[in-house]
Amino acid sequence: MAENCIFCRIVRHEVPSKIIYEDDCLLAFHDINPAAPVHFLIIPKAHIETLADTQLSDEALLGKMLLLAPKLAHELGCENGFRTVINTGPDGGQEVYHLHMHVMGGPRPWRQ
């Protein structure tokens, strides 16, 4: 883990967050600045800066993130669909350099 990374600090429970899921390798919590009625993040507990930094050894972790998204979206009321976004690097709009997946849904209009 990176000492000053905000998401690593959330993983260590040093920074408060509204956690909706936690296991040995993943954490999911509500976005602090939601862009949709339902907007949460799924992050690995291990510090991986970007999707471009993942390796073949991260294959199972990435699959687990993708499988968790619809489960949590459904539990939070996204009956008619949801959007997943992983911003990567400066040109991809990444603001926090710890791999994270945005999951957004709920009644429209909230387009981005």
Residue 66 zone, left/alpha/beta (φ > 0; ψ -120 to 50; rest): alpha
Residue listed under structure tokens 């959330």: 10
- 99 touches 54 (CB < 8 A): yes
The pair of three-digit structure tokens given for residue 27, joined into one six-digit string: 């954490």
**Strands 82-85, 101-105: parallel, antiparallel or unpaired by DSSP?**
antiparallel
Selecting among 30, 47, 98, 100, the annotated active-site residue is: 100
Active site residue 13: no
CB burial class (10 A; 0-12, 13-18, 19+) of residue 3? Answer: exposed
- Active-site residue set: 100
